[in-house]
Chain A
């Protein structure tokens, strides 16, 4: 085979350079008796609702790698612009990268037009990109925000189709969440009512869908203000152990004790804090 000239690739696109190598690996790995790591997906329940003053977006916080929970508290509500946020279901990497790309392009667009971006613009950019990749980018999104034309809510599917609706749900837990919405949604709700409805819809997904779990994040977007409530509801707090396997000092009698100090020089001491946000 000839060499692959990387300089000829387009800038800022999804490169399929590893495709040949991956298919080869997949074929050979089966012979060895093991399997390739599954892509990290967000099993997910995400939803959104339009209420009197704006939109409320909600999401669970579980990220799965096959049948194992990879992240118990991941953030699925992504920033697009100061007045627009987007929940993402499907392949975690795809939702993360897609929302970041469109957020970046939308900021440039906003600087060019000298206006606050519109939700319809973000919708167009997302749907045109996803359609271009013909569904291979597994990103199912709930896009919501408030702009000069009022509050708007869109659901965007991996193949590039979109629906503009007053309430939407996506992800593996979407049926459970939709059941709650279809029962209790009313147009022009008050903020507290809308937040409670979204919270209950996500909870339905968390407790009835294996792919969704942990906490409930909410994002309330109104004209001029965004409340990013993470977590809004810790629906699954880790239990406190009632007993302890540790033995207390003195359980075992000590006969003799000998201390030998090691001759060590302290060269450098530094503290690195871990980012737990």
Chain B
């Protein structure tokens, strides 16, 4: 059985972002599929849009890569004109404008997260269809369905950066365990005023839970 080039390349995915005081934590799995074949098992779905702004991509790999490239360009240009680091809200709105205008042609679910001077750490979700809403915690992708309950019960406001990283890793591990389209490694990033810390949790180091 061979991967058909007619099956589009998708990041079926589980992606997540959490705000904390002073920044955001973002996380994603690393699986990209073409039909039932895993085309890339170490994908990086956390894409930098600017120095302190990232986006988490889910849906069609081609669509989200093209959108992210276009928004990076627009935001970079805007930031140079402004002579200031751009706002997360600006980035989120650029994503929304593109995803809403071309909503019939695109298959893209994106979470925009980052830090700026005006409002600190922010998470904005732009699901398929082109809605834009700010949320303290947001999940997306096919694997997100399995962890809404976990998120709702375990999230509390006022968590520290380490607690957020732990929370995100746990949630992603649970989703990857249950969703066939999510898997591989867990990629995490913490974005604050001082910079960015990226980490990877390999398959054998993932947090374990009860399995029947």
Residues of A within 8 A of B6 (CB): 135
Q: Which residue of B lies closest to A176 (CB)?
A: B2
A158 to B65, Cβ gap below 8 A?
no
Q: Which residue of B lies closest to A209 (CB)?
A: B2
A163 to B40, Cβ gap below 8 A?
yes
| Stretch binding the partner chain, chosen from A167-175, A195-203, A213-221, A241-249 | A167-175
B60 at the binding interface (Cβ < 8 Å): yes
Contact status of A138 and B5, CB under 8 A, knowing A159-B62, A161-B62: yes
Contact status of A172 and B2, CB under 8 A, knowing A157-B9, A161-B62: yes
Q: Which residue of B lies closest to A166 (CB)?
A: B42
A131 to B66, Cβ gap below 8 A?
yes
A127 at the binding interface (Cβ < 8 Å): yes
Residues of A within 8 A of B3 (CB): 174-175
A158 to B66, Cβ gap below 8 A?
no
B66 to A157, Cβ gap below 8 A?
no
Residues of A within 8 A of B69 (CB): 124, 128
What separation, in Å, do the CA atoms of A157 and B35 have in the docked complex? Answer: 13
What separation, in Å, do the CA atoms of A151 and B123 have in the docked complex? Answer: 36
What separation, in Å, do the CA atoms of A41 and B34 have in the docked complex? Answer: 19
Residues of A within 8 A of B105 (CB): 134
B196 at the binding interface (Cβ < 8 Å): no
A160 at the binding interface (Cβ < 8 Å): yes
Q: Give the residue among B5, B6, B42, B69 with the most A Cβ atoms within 10 A.
A: B5
B2 to A175, Cβ gap below 8 A?
yes
Chain A interface residue count, CB cutoff 8 Å, equals 27
Residues of A within 8 A of B32 (CB): 161, 163
B40 to A160, Cβ gap below 8 A?
no
Identify which of residues 194-212 in chain B touch chain A, using a CB-to-CB cut-off of 8 Å.
none
* A152-190 interface bits toward B, Cβ cutoff 8 Å, 1 = contact, 0 = none: 000101111111010000011111000000000000000
Residues of B within 8 A of A140 (CB): 5
What separation, in Å, do the CA atoms of A138 and B6 have in the docked complex? Answer: 8
Identify which of residues 22-43 in chain A touch chain B, using a CB-to-CB cut-off of 8 Å.
none
Residues of B within 8 A of A134 (CB): 105
Residues of B within 8 A of A117 (CB): none
B65 to A162, Cβ gap below 8 A?
yes
Q: Which residue of B lies closest to A165 (CB)?
A: B40
A54 at the binding interface (Cβ < 8 Å): no
Q: Which residue of B lies closest to A44 (CB)?
A: B2
B37 at the binding interface (Cβ < 8 Å): yes
What separation, in Å, do the CA atoms of A157 and B7 have in the docked complex? Answer: 10
What separation, in Å, do the CA atoms of A171 and B37 have in the docked complex? Answer: 12
B37 to A159, Cβ gap below 8 A?
no
A135 to B43, Cβ gap below 8 A?
no
Residues of A within 8 A of B1 (CB): 175
Contact status of A157 and B61, CB under 8 A, knowing A90-B5, A135-B8, A140-B5: yes
Identify which of residues 103-142 in chain B touch chain A, using a CB-to-CB cut-off of 8 Å.
105
* B28-51 interface bits toward A, Cβ cutoff 8 Å, 1 = contact, 0 = none: 000010100101101100000000
A160 to B65, Cβ gap below 8 A?
yes
Residues of A within 8 A of B37 (CB): 175
Query: Which of A90, A138, A160 meets B62, CB within 8 Å?
Result: A160
CB distance from A162 to the nearest CB of B (A): 7
B66 to A163, Cβ gap below 8 A?
no
Residues of A within 8 A of B65 (CB): 127, 160-162
4 A-B pairs with least C-beta separation: A161-B61, A159-B62, A161-B62, A160-B62
**Chain A residues close to B by CB (< 8 Å):** 89-90, 124, 127-128, 130-131, 134-135, 138, 140, 155, 157-163, 165, 171-175, 209, 211
A sample of 7 inter-chain contacts (CB < 8 A) reads A124-B69, A127-B65, A135-B6, A158-B5, A165-B40, A172-B2, A211-B2
8 further A-B contacts with Cβ under 8 Å, apart from A128-B69, A130-B62, are A127-B65, A127-B66, A131-B62, A135-B62, A161-B9, A165-B42, A173-B2, A175-B37
